Amino acid sequence: MYVRRSPEAIVVQAPAKLNLHFEVLGRRPDGFHEVETFITAISLFDTLAFFHSSPQTEQAGLQRTVDFAGDWVPGMRGYFHSPAGDSTGDLQTALGDLPEPSDNIVVKAIELLSQRAGTEKSAVVRLVKRIPSSAGLGGGSSDAAAALVAANLAWNLGWSQERLASLAADLGSDVPFYFTRGAAICRGRGERLESLENGQHFHFVVVRPPQGLSTADVYRNCQPAKTPVSIGPLLEAWRNGCPYRLGSMLMNRLQEPAAKMCSWVGRLRNAMKQLEVPGHQMTGSGSSYFAICHNARHAQHTASRLRAQRLGQVFHATSVHIPLN
Q: Is 30 a catalytic residue?
A: no
Query: Would you say 278 and 247 are in contact if contact means Cβ atoms under 8 Å apart?
Result: yes
Strand (E) positions, the chain? 2-5, 9-27, 33-51, 64-69, 123-128, 183-188, 192-196, 203-208, 251-252, 279-282, 289-293, 313-318
Exactly one of 17, 46, 121, 129 is catalytic; which is it? Answer: 17
d(CA 215, CA 138): 11
Number of Cβ atoms within 10 Å of the Cβ of 211: 16
Exactly one of 46, 129, 143, 174 is catalytic; which is it? Answer: 174
Distances (CA, A) of 310 to 210, 303, 304: 10, 11, 10
Strand partners, 207: 289, 314
Q: Is 174 a catalytic residue?
A: yes
Cis peptide before 287 (omega within 30 of 0): yes
Q: Show which residues are catalytic.
A: 17, 174
